Structure 1
């Protein structure tokens, strides 16, 4: 998954494609996994709602995806 996809995919689709990202949202105290708005919101949208630094969140999501890919 590319950084561009992380920015543009709705969160629900991101979690569907990369389930390991769910724990990243939870570690940032975001209830995105299972949220009714997850099919409609992007990472930037959610970061704004939760007042989380979007760049830090995206960096953590990329790290989780890369770590999972390294295991495969």
Structure 2
């Protein structure tokens, strides 16, 4: 399960299938050095993305 306190790079390492969702929301943080340190909630906030919507979509997309 993905949580809002996970870093963006951690999410992408564990669940690479989430990349299209990050791209669709304009969160190109995966290509940035800060992705190793930036929590999902902060990245969403900076890009004015609703964290609850993003989190729900990310969790629906992961392959368990």
Counterpart selection for 1:55 from 48, 52, 56: 52
Counterpart selection for 1:45 from 34, 42, 47: 42
TM-score, length basis structure 1? 0.79
Deviations 1:7-36 (A, max 9, x none): 222110110010011111101111122211
The unaligned stretches of length 5 or more in structure 2 are: none
Larger Rg: 1
Partner of 1:26: 23
Counterpart selection for 1:10 from 2, 7, 10: 7
TM-score, length basis structure 2? 0.88
**RMSD of the alignment, in Å?**
1.2
How many residue pairs are counted as aligned between the two chains?
64
The unaligned stretches of length 5 or more in structure 1 are: none
